[in-house]
Amino acid sequence: MVSTVLSRERSWLRFNHRVLLQATRDDVPLLEKLRFLAIFAANLDEFFAARIYGVYERGRSGGRQEQDEYRTVLAEAYESALQATEIHEQLRNALTEVGFLLLEPGELTPLERSYFGAYLAEEASPRADLLDPGALSGLSSQALYLAAGRESLDYLVRLPDSLPRLLPVPGRPGAFVRLGPLVRLRSDLFLPEDLPMYEMRLTRLADLDVQRVDWDDLAQAIEDRPEGPATRLEVERAFPWVADVREALNLPEEAAFRLSPPLDHRYLNTLIGEDPPRPNSTPLRYEPIEPREAPDFESDPFGLLDERDVAFYHPLDDYGAVEAFVDRAAADPEVDQIRVSLYRLGARNPIAEALMRAAEAGKDVAVLLEGRARFDELQNLHWSLLFRASGIRILPLPVGYKVHAKALYVRRAGRGYVHLCTGNYNPMNGRLYTDISLFSSNAELAGDALEFFESLEDGEPPQLQRMRYGIDARDAMLEKIRAEANSGGHIILKMNHLTDPAVFEALGEAADAGARVDVIARSTLTLHDERFTMRSIVGRFLEHARVAAFQSGGAWEVWAGSADWMPRNFEERIELIFPVLDTDIAAHIVELLHRQMQDDVNAFDMLPDGTHEPRWGGEVNAQLVPL
């Protein structure tokens, strides 16, 4: 039997490599390739700001094996970063062919150089920071610095984050120049003497330990958030003082990435939204997809739900239907109670705004708002103030647990209605992520949703009839897997992350007993095993649905929910997993899973040796298959 166990960190890096490979596909339009390269760069920043924490700590404090694993992770990340640099150069040449020019300062006319000199003097120089090398240990994470000196490092210039990294050249449509080289050209505006300058940036761990922080303490926790230790240094290849900077930041040699500038490929986001300077016969972006609307549901959602359950598969089905349901509930005089769990809201959110209108109209509205959603803490704190001002009650956060469950409960004329989903109540994500929405007036599901909110408010574990949460959810799913341990058994799991050892053990036992085991894991998959058929889908939309299907002797049983099957999610988070009770909807979801296993446009085979192999060039694009 061939199988490979990967650490979460190495497995996640391989997912990000699959993202990077999208920028090399012949069937992906050019500007979309830029988007994938920018996403890869943002993902790698997040990795070194958060996801590397476990292997970083083990590598720094553990034995030889832990140190070797840490170095292996760094080497694998560096290899991908080098490949991204090569792809960037290829895409830059391709941009030139369609009329976009990424110029060096030497390619500007004298008048253009004069303009940018004035721009730097007016906009950049007064806001840049000139630092002494003694400030190395306190440099900010992900800021762009230029280091200056000859024999030794004499100065550091920090460029303000508010300045765009890519600037349009006035009078030349499609022409741009990067900020870093411009600063180097006019170093006299930033340095007290004429010295060569080199680009550098570093990444630090985002250190906010708010696992036990409630709303009253969250603002102070954010204010007091310390800058964590440095985890990665990026410098251009000719950078002379790598050893000095590494020593000041206490970084191992493997954590210093020598790359060709630009060091931060997120700057490409500026180009993605630009119109091409001349017509092109080849599309530069994906063709727009018009999501399916649901006029019957939106015109009378409660009447329809009184008759049957309704499911949507976003973004092919319009996420606006979810927003319209909450808006309808907020305005309906027969609705008197709304409960919802919220995780990542974004800067503007129609659902949140409808909830505030409902509270202002006198309805009983309470939200379970997770204040510890990583990198969204401040945004959610902002919403908490708006909610309180409108009369919405914010339910207390469970001590020691993060709330990740996604559920909405509405009481209308004494009857409960529920929306359960695999995604976030976020207007942007709802239109970019593939997620399943289930609406129902089933008394048991609606009762479980109300019990979930009321029990958490009372500080008690919920007693659920149909749904499962926490460790009970894992136990229930393990029982379902074990029931398939026979020659007629068939299990299909679709997750973002699958890392739970107990789940893998049960899957292996089922496979050994003759069951067919299919796994679709977008990102982290810590066991690759020849007993399972394993896929990963990376494409235009971000795969986000979490679904488990069990053949159950002929009649498929389908469960979905907010949880990826990881130990921390079952043990340290409040998650909900719900059954799909409507047999027609369950059958449609199973058909979707079958199509995803057949995908040969966006899929990868996840091989037993821990690697992946593209299944591209075919005709089955499961991302375009509606529910």
The domains located in the chain, with CATH, are: 19-272 (3.30.1840), 295-458 (3.30.870.10), 470-624 (3.30.870.10)
| Mean pLDDT over the full length of the chain | 94
As a whole number of angstroms, the distance between CA 491 and CA 512 comes to: 13
Residue 515 backbone phi and psi in degrees, to 5: -75, 150
Flag the least confident range among 32-46, 105-119, 336-350, 369-383.
Answer: 369-383
Say whether 198 sits in a helix, a strand or coil.
strand
Query: Do the beta carbons of residue 39 and residue 559 sit within 8 Å?
Result: no
Distances (CA, A) of 31 to 22, 37, 265, 286, 473: 12, 10, 13, 9, 42
Which position has the higher pLDDT, 215 or 74?
74
pLDDT tops 50 at residue 212: no
Binned at pLDDT 50, 70 and 90, residue 62 comes out as confident
Q: What is the pLDDT of residues 116-154, one digit of tens each?
A: 999 999 999 999 999 999 999 999 999 999 999 999 999
Q: What amino acid occupies position 347?
A: A
Query: Do the beta carbons of residue 597 and residue 518 sit within 8 Å?
Result: yes
Q: What is the pLDDT of residues 559-586, one digit of tens each?
A: 999 999 999 999 988 899 999 999 999 9
Say whether 450 sits in a helix, a strand or coil.
helix
As a whole number of angstroms, the distance between CA 156 and CA 130 comes to: 6
Q: Tokens 């649901």 correspond to what residue?
A: 294
What pLDDT score does 560 carry? 98
Q: What is the pLDDT of residues 419-473, one digit of tens each?
A: 999 999 999 999 999 999 999 999 999 999 999 999 989 988 899 999 999 899 9
What pLDDT score does 37 carry? 98
Query: Do the beta carbons of residue 314 and residue 431 sit within 8 Å?
Result: yes
CA-CA-CA-CA torsion sign (270, 271, 277, 282): negative
Binned at pLDDT 50, 70 and 90, residue 375 comes out as low
As a whole number of angstroms, the distance between CA 16 and CA 265 comes to: 14
Binned at pLDDT 50, 70 and 90, residue 372 comes out as low
As a whole number of angstroms, the distance between CA 223 and CA 378 comes to: 10
As a whole number of angstroms, the distance between CA 133 and CA 157 comes to: 10
Q: Are strands 577-579 and 612-614 parallel, antiparallel or unpaired?
A: unpaired
Q: What is the dihedral of CA 606, 611, 612, 613, to 10 degrees?
A: -120
What pLDDT score does 223 carry? 47
Which position has the higher pLDDT, 225 or 231?
231
Q: What is the pLDDT of residues 15-51, one digit of tens each?
A: 999 999 999 999 999 999 999 999 999 999 999 999 9
Question: What is the chain's Cα-based Rg?
Answer: 26
Average pLDDT of the residues in 360-377: 83
What pLDDT score does 276 carry? 86
| The residue count for the chain | 627
Q: Which of 88, 265, 314, 404 is catalytic?
A: 404
Contacts of 568 (CB under 8 A, 6+ apart): none
Kindly state the helix (H) or strand (E) to which residue 306 belongs, with its residue range. helix 301-307
What pLDDT score does 256 carry? 98
Q: What is the pLDDT of residues 69-127, one digit of tens each?
A: 999 999 999 999 999 999 999 999 999 999 999 999 999 999 999 999 999 999 999 99
Flag the least confident range among 214-228, 484-498, 529-543.
Answer: 214-228
Which position has the higher pLDDT, 3 or 226?
3
Cα angle, residue 179 at apex, residues 188 and 21 outer, rounded to 5°: 145
- Residue (of 399, 350, 392) closest to 371 by Cα position: 399
Distances (CA, A) of 469 to 173, 441, 560: 55, 20, 12
Distances (CA, A) of 39 to 20, 23, 521: 8, 10, 19
Q: What is the pLDDT of residues 505-541, one digit of tens each?
A: 999 999 999 999 999 999 999 999 999 999 999 999 9
Q: What is the dihedral of CA 156, 160, 165, 166, to 10 degrees?
A: -120
What pLDDT score does 222 carry? 46
What pLDDT score does 280 carry? 83
Distances (CA, A) of 314 to 130, 162, 423, 458: 48, 34, 9, 34
Contacts of 554 (CB under 8 A, 6+ apart): none
Percent of the chain with pLDDT over 70: 96
Q: Are strands 542-543 and 546-550 parallel, antiparallel or unpaired?
A: unpaired
Percent of the chain with pLDDT over 90: 87
Q: Reply yes or no on whether 404 is catalytic.
A: yes
Distances (CA, A) of 349 to 322, 363, 503: 12, 19, 36
- Residue (of 482, 507, 505) closest to 493 by Cα position: 507
